[in-house]
Structure 1
Amino acid sequence: MSAELTLGAEEELHLIDLETKRLSARAPQLLSRLPADRYGAELQRTTVETNVPVVTTLSDLRREILLLRKDLVDAASASDLAIAAAGTAPRSEFADFELTATGRYGRMQEQYRLLVDEQLICGLQIHVGVSDRDLAVQIAGRVAPVLPALLALSASSPFWNGQDTGYASIRSIIWQRWPSAGATGPMANAREYDRMVEDLIGSGVIADAKMAYFDVRPSSHAPTLELRTCDACPVVDDAVLIAGLYRAAVRKAEIDIVDGRPETLRAAPLHRAAMWQAARGGLAGELLDLGAHPERLPAAQAVRQLAVSLRPQLEELGDWHDVEGLLEQTLARGNSADRQRAAYAERGELDDVVDLVVKETHGPASGELPTLPTLTGYRFRAGDEAIGPGLHARPAYRGVAEFFRTLDGADIADRCERRDAAARDAGLRFTVDDEVRGFDVDLMPRIVTHHEWKQLARGLTQRARAIESFLQDAYGARRIVADGVLTEAQVVDASGWRVEATLLPRGTVRAAVQGFDLIRTEFGGWRVLEDNVRSPSGAAYGVAVRSLLDTVVPDAPRPAGLLDPHSVFALLRETLLAHAPEGGVGAVLSEGPDAAAWFEHRALAEGAGLLLLTADDLDVRDHRVVESSSGTVVDALYLRLDGELLDLRSHASNDLGVRIMDVAATGDVFLANAPGNGLADDKAMYVAVPDLIEYYLNEKPHLESVPTYRLSDEAERLAVLDRVGELVTKPVDGSGGVGVLIGPSASAAEVAARRVEIAQDPARWVAQEVVSLSSHPTLTPTGLEPRHVDLRAFVYLTGVGPTQSRLADVGLTRVAPEGSMVVNSSRGGGAKDTWIIGPEPAPEGD
């Protein structure tokens, strides 16, 4: 008997209180006013289920879903409620769960305890008519490879219990905790399936056949094959698309069975892995292809591959044209998880996410039609910060993206010429290996929202305080060693250890200026990639880039609340002189015009009202550091030396550095970024920073680090040697990207050579997991093109107290060359202006 291939659906919908934006447990009252054959109760009192009648076409399915939603919306609105079709309600919390009062549900709560209490989730079930249960059971095993793509398309549950879970579909992860969830595996007929269900019931693990919560199952109440994998979809057309693809997959499996084609089996652990991968990344990550031994593909490519593989069946069913169009629409706008995260990123408010999901659930079948211009020709990728699915600018970028989109080739060329001239006039350059190079600046600014900057301030000031606490302790009592958090060797044998640093007075701030390299992952989260504590560079470059943009693109629209990076100068002066007598004098100590960052040394000194001195400008008289020509006492020295202070010499003194250190040892001169700070710059010490935060501050880290391996540890070294081609390896004392090997981009010879280097001197190396950097539009002669970016931010400290560290209102966004993820200017990278948004100014008169 052939399958009927009719369509049906069940949608689980959250009830949302319009005032609080929280879940409402008033489903019983609402259901009392709705037809029982179309609306039903669920396990939780915060959910209503709709039952779409049997239809034969995708158009009919769309119409019936819309009608059921409309009637439910009308009934809910009378009670100041809304409905939300999403895997999880963005503001849901454990405390919101209320059990629907039936004996069956009560028994389930008694048996499964927390498993029931966390079921604040909503799914989409699609039914395809297959009344022959033997055929249905055989088809169920064969359609398993298509399920990850369908889950990725539906993913709508990134938020749970008030936070971003890191998953596109946390609902599916929660759902998989049921003992009867997942795949059944291949089965020959209905008798085998029924016997398995009977055995499950007999085991006491499930109570009845309705609890056979398999990914695909013969329905317990209808002559259909039921898909139970997907999140509820706020946009109706996403549900229609999934129904079309699923029905075609059922038809393809039926044809293969009738024709006697052998089943292509995928090992059960691989199927589980593929489902997890879809739940993790949704459409923003990777999926597995359809083979028994699958390869990873970008999600968009994988779902297009699925549609093409099903094209004969889609054409047979009359669905190809609809499915092809719906698929491209979904890929263009992203799934609900992508849109929810974009909404949250604007202000960091879950209420905004709730409003979005409710609006889409109540809205038209195709969702809100975009009114924004399309950035035609732009090479979109999932981790792009400025351009979203559909090639539309994300909200924070709408004005500035439109400005750059409308520039023609001649205007771009003219502005680039003026940019280069302005950079030359400003002396914007740096030195690498005795070669003076220009500093490449991109004209398309990067925007960091107020919400994101608050998050970074919280995390980076915490990290800076912990690092400062560690440096003071490491060169003092070393409590951290006595308490067993670090070993003596990890401290005193580290590459950055300097014995002279033990001479500084107790309580002296050692790392007054700290720089942090941050990356934003493809999923939107920020991570600290490196800590720069010895002599972090870039603040003055960040200010200079803003001045350059103000000169070359003054007409680009500036957002409200844009912070002024020039404020870093006053912050630097305040930090250096915090412990100096009133009217104290501060200075930047540089090696002079040959220094790699001479431009910055000059700019910092001029902007902060500091002296700019070299060794030949200094002397030590009467146990005070003085400017030699005038005798002016210098109370604070900001060390911007490429070498060590003890090696500093002048024409008049071969031991100038030693003499300055003697003065610092009695507290008569403050050394900002003192000798020995390289101990915290050591890439191996980066691994320990979360432990430092816990130990010194008794807090959990607010910002994550990148998973990093210490190769001095034998077990980690052996694991890394097998994976050098998959990891980033770098020297513990490296800087400027020197010595960094990105395994996936390296040749076999380079990987082999790095293995040898690690084996010969393991303590010299660390390894990190590859984290794909976010991308950002960069202005090129032919228009905007994506490039990978990172961000260097700066924290200034006057102590280790909660109020003694401040994140400067300046950031240096570094831009990798085309096709690279290495952003360092010494490796061909450039920079762009970072527009940091503060609180919007209050309206005049307030």
Structure 2
Amino acid sequence: MRTVGVEEELLLVDPDTGDPRALAAPVLARAAQDDPGQDVFEKELFGQMLEFATHPQADMADLGEEIVRCRKEAARHAGEIGCAVAALASSPLPVSPSLSMNERYRWLAERYGIPTWEQLVCGCHVHVSVESDEEGVAVLDRIRPWLAVLRAISANSPFWQGQDTGYGSYRSRVWNRWPSAGPTEPFETAERYHRRVADMVATGAILDEGMVYFDARLSAHYPTVEIRVADVCLCANTAVLIATLSRALVETAARDWRAGRPAPDPSVSLLRLADWYAARFGLEGDLLDPVTLLPKPAEQVVRSLLEHCGDALAGSGDADRADGAVRDLLRNGNGAREQRRLLARTDSLRDVVTGCVRLTQA
């Protein structure tokens, strides 16, 4: 059974006003005081962000419990210094980000200028174990058309600097300002993958391998494929669904590779359009079908993902759980829909944030 680990970035906010607060350093200090050996929580690019990482899990129920536990622990540490955590992929309220001070982050700010200061966005990265770099690259080549569907499912960033952007995942539009971000062409072999990464670093446009921000990549530190397209999900159940579908996509791709089935070969140009559809509409309109790359209703495309991964989901015992989670998601909506629903009910972006603080731990 392939193991799965999840990294989530959370927004630190004032519990009363909803304004983002640059308190990552004292929150991390409090976490270290409570557990000197803790390796769960880390700082991120800005002081208004807090990241945690789960351990690798083979059972999705165990992974879900750990995500909920980490969110609650983050909320407890934050609460002890007077702030709260919200699983929001962008701040609904206006914010001036505070850069975390270390050499790497200063380099980013000096190198890229204004786009660096616009990166106060929170994502969810899913690590799925692979047996080798060769298998990992075969997986990367085969999951490319399906990644936009994960983007649409996770969409949780409709607001930016106090305004409705019209997008479900505006975070993805911000994130793609990095020069190394986005979809890739097929690599075909591990040797070609690593050569491409080395060539990118050699240009000097990026600092190192850690800045290869492909939508999915080989992890530089773990024997995993790292899928990086998802917004941080408002509800933990949606994060578990993203992880479940990610593992099933990886397993399906690996089986196809071992069976000698060729990887699909859509152009990067079309994959960018599919990603735009997912970011713009989330689950509220059409998406591009990963097979035909023509528009279809989002519900049909999400269900086609379940069908594509059906054997892998059945093999891991996740088929019923995934089917039920998708039904709930299509009925109730993702984080973007819930944020807009909260705004329609309260007419206050501050109330949107405080409502999302509660939902983060639900």
Q: TM-score, normalised by structure 1?
A: 0.42
- After TM superposition, give the deviation of residue 295 of structure 1 in Å: 2.3
Equivalents in 1 of 2:154, 2:170: separation in Å? 12
Structure possessing the higher relative contact order (Cα contacts under 8 Å, 6 or more residues apart): 2
Letter of the 1:202 counterpart: A
User: 1:532 maps to which residue?
Assistant: none
CA contact (8 A) 2:288 2:295 kept: yes
Q: Distance in 2 between matches of 1:356 and 1:307?
A: 31
What is aligned with 1:32? 29
Query: 1: distance between equivalents of 2:317 and 2:246?
Result: 14
Equivalent residues of 1:157, 1:169 under 8 A apart: yes
Alignment partners' CA distance in 1, 2:91 and 2:259: 45
Partner of 2:78: 76
Alignment check: 8 A CA contact 1:91 1:162 kept = yes
In 1, the alpha carbon distance for the partners of 2:179 and 2:331 equals 36
Partner of 2:297: 298
3-state SS of the aligned residue for 1:174? helix
Structure 1 distance, partners of 2:58, 2:346, is: 44
Structure 1's unaligned 5+ residue stretches are: 364-846
1:785 maps to none
1:580 maps to what in 2? none
Once the two structures are superposed, what CA deviation does each residue of 1:705-757 show, in whole Å capped at 9, x if it has no partner? xxxxxxxxxxxxxxxxxxxxxxxxxxxxxxxxxxxxxxxxxxxxxxxxxxxxx
Question: Post-superposition shift, 1:135?
Answer: 1.1
Which sits farther off after the overlay, 190-199 or 166-175?
190-199
Question: Aligned letter for 1:142?
Answer: R
Which amino acid letter does the alignment assign opposite residue 358 of structure 2? Answer: K
Partners of 2:293 and 2:45 lie apart in 1 by 37
Listed one character per residue, the Cα deviations across residues 455-510 of structure 1 (whole Å, up to 9, x for unaligned) are: xxxxxxxxxxxxxxxxxxxxxxxxxxxxxxxxxxxxxxxxxxxxxxxxxxxxxxxx
Counterpart residue number, 1:340: 339
Q: Deviations over 1:766-793 (max 9, x none)?
A: xxxxxxxxxxxxxxxxxxxxxxxxxxxx
Alignment RMSD (CA, Å): 1.1
User: 1:16 corresponds to which residue?
Assistant: 13
Compute the displacement of 1:18 (Å).
Answer: 1.3
What SS is found at the alignment partner of 1:277?
Answer: helix
Alignment correspondent of 2:264: 264
CA contact (8 A) 1:149 1:303 kept: yes
> Shift of the alpha carbon at 1:66?
1.0
1:7, CA displacement in angstroms? 0.6
Aligned-partner Cα distance in 2 for 1:77–1:233: 21
Q: Which amino acid aligns with 2:333?
A: G
Contact 2:139 2:250 in 1 (8 A): yes
Q: Which amino acid aligns with 2:25?
A: P
Equivalent residues in 2 for 1:823-834, closer than 5 Å = none
Cα distance in 1 for partners of 2:268, 2:211 equals 21
SS across alignment from 2:50: strand
Code of the aligned partner of 2:119? Q
Letter in 1 for 2:323: E
Task: State the shift of 1:6 in Å.
Answer: 0.7
Give the Cα separation in 2 of the matches to 1:71 and 1:92: 27
Instruction: Work out whether residues 13 and 232 of structure 1, in 8 Å CA contact, stay in contact via their aligned partners in 2.
Output: yes
- For residues 225-255 of structure 1, the C-alpha deviation after alignment (integer angstroms, 9 at most, x for no partner) is 0010010011000011111111111111101
Kindly state the Cα deviation for residue 10 of structure 1 after the two structures are TM-superposed.
0.2
Higher helix share: 2
Superposed displacement of residue 198, structure 1 = 1.2
Matched, 1:314 2:313: yes
Q: Does 1:66 align with 2:68?
A: yes
Q: Structure 2 stretches of 5 or more lacking a match?
A: 33-37
Query: Alpha-carbon deviations, 1:50-93, whole Å to 9, x = none?
Result: 01001101101101111111111111111221111121121143
Output the CA distance in 1 between the equivalents of 2:94 and 2:278: 22
CA contact (8 A) 2:12 2:20 kept: yes
Amino acid at match of 1:223: P
How many residue pairs match? The answer is 357
Give 1:196 deviation, angstroms.
Answer: 1.1
The aligned counterpart of 2:58 is: 56
> What residue is the counterpart of 1:128 in the other structure?
128
Q: Using the alignment, how far apart are the partners of 2:59 and 2:167 within structure 1?
A: 33
What is the SS of the residue equivalent to 1:25?
coil
Q: How many angstroms does 1:347 deviate by? A: 3.8
More strand by share: 1
- Counterpart residue identity of residue 43, structure 1: L
Alpha-carbon distance in 2 for matches of 1:343, 1:64: 27
Deviation at 1:282, TM superposition (A): 0.4
Letter of the structure 2 residue corresponding to residue 30 of structure 1:
V
CA distance in 2, matches of 1:272, 1:175: 13
Q: Is the 8 A contact 2:41 2:51 kept in 1?
A: yes
Contact 1:16 1:81 in 2 (8 A): yes
Distance 1:60 1:145 in 2: 29
Quick one: percent identity of the two aligned structures?
40
User: Residues 376-525 of structure 1: matches in 2 within 5 Å?
Assistant: none
> 2: distance between equivalents of 1:71 and 1:240?
18
Task: Please give the alpha-carbon distance, in whole angstroms, between the structure 2 residues aligned to 1:30 and 1:79.
Answer: 7
* TM-score (ref. length: structure 2): 0.96
Structure 1: distance between partners of 2:94 and 2:267: 35
- 1:674-709, CA deviations, whole angstroms, 9 ceiling, x for partnerless residues? xxxxxxxxxxxxxxxxxxxxxxxxxxxxxxxxxxxx
Aligned-pair CA distance for 1:41: 0.7
The Cα of 1:346 is off from its aligned counterpart by 2.7
Mapped to 2, the partners of 1:299 and 1:92 lie a distance apart of 31
The equivalent of 2:348 in structure 1 is 349
Q: Distance in 2 between the 1:8 and 1:106 partners?
A: 29
Q: Structure 1 129/111 Cα, relative in aligned 2: closer, same or farther at 3 Å?
A: same
Q: Displacement, 1:280?
A: 0.1
Determine which structure has more spread, i.e. the larger CA radius of gyration. Answer: 1
Q: In structure 2, what is the Cα distance between the partners aligned to 1:164 and 1:125?
A: 25
CA positional deviation for 1:329: 0.9
What is residue 359 of structure 1 aligned with on the other side? 358
Deviation track 1:94-130 (CA, whole Å, cap 9, x = no partner) reads: x2x1111111111111001111100110000011011
Distance in 1 of aligned mates of 2:220 and 2:122:
19
Alpha-carbon deviation of 1:348? 2.4
Distance 1:92 1:283 in 2: 26
Partner of 2:3: 6
In 2, the alpha carbon distance for the partners of 1:107 and 1:242 equals 32
Aligned-residue offset at 1:337: 0.5
Question: Counterpart of 1:196?
Answer: 196
Matched ranges for 1:732-771 at <5 A: none
Aligned to 1:176: 176
What is the CA distance between 1:20 and its match in structure 2? 2.5
Whole-Å separation in 1 of the counterparts to 2:134 and 2:309:
23
2:331 is the alignment partner of 1:329: no
Q: Is the 8 A contact 1:83 1:362 kept in 2?
A: no
Q: How far does the alpha carbon of each residue in 1:331-370 deviate from its partner, in whole angstroms, 9 at most, with x for none? A: 111011011111112342101211221111021xxxxxxx
1:166 corresponds to which residue? 166
Distance in 2 between residues matched to 1:279 and 1:201, nearest whole Å: 28
How many angstroms does 1:183 deviate by?
Answer: 1.6
Q: Which residue of 1 aligns with 2:287?
A: 287
Is the partner of 1:32 in helix, strand or coil? Answer: helix
CA contact (8 A) 1:92 1:120 kept: no
Q: Which residue of 2 aligns with 1:214?
A: 214
Inter-partner Cα distance in structure 2 for 1:170 and 1:343? 18
Which residue is 2:35 aligned to? Answer: none
Q: Structure 1: which 4+ aligned runs deviate by more than 2 Å?
A: none
Where 1:33 maps in the other structure, the secondary structure is helix
Contact residue 157 and residue 167 of structure 1 kept, 8 A: yes
Q: 1:347 to 1:55 in 2, by over 3 A?
A: closer
Shift of 1:185: 1.4
SS in 1 for 2:55: strand
Task: Give distance in 2, aligned partners of 1:116 and 1:62.
Answer: 32
2: CA distance, partners of 1:81 / 1:126: 27
Separation in structure 2 between the aligned mates of residue 87 and residue 276 of structure 1, nearest angstrom: 17
**DSSP-derived class of the 1:328 partner:** helix
Are the equivalent residues in 2 in contact too, given 1:88–1:171 (CA < 8 A)?
yes
Report the secondary structure of 2:195's partner residue: helix
The separation in 2 between residues aligned to 1:337 and 1:15, in whole angstroms, is 19
2:47 to 45, 48, 52: 45
Q: Which residue of 2 aligns with 1:453?
A: none
Q: Distance in 2 between matches of 1:230 and 1:53?
A: 19
Matched residues in 1 for 2:46 and 2:13: separation?
A: 13
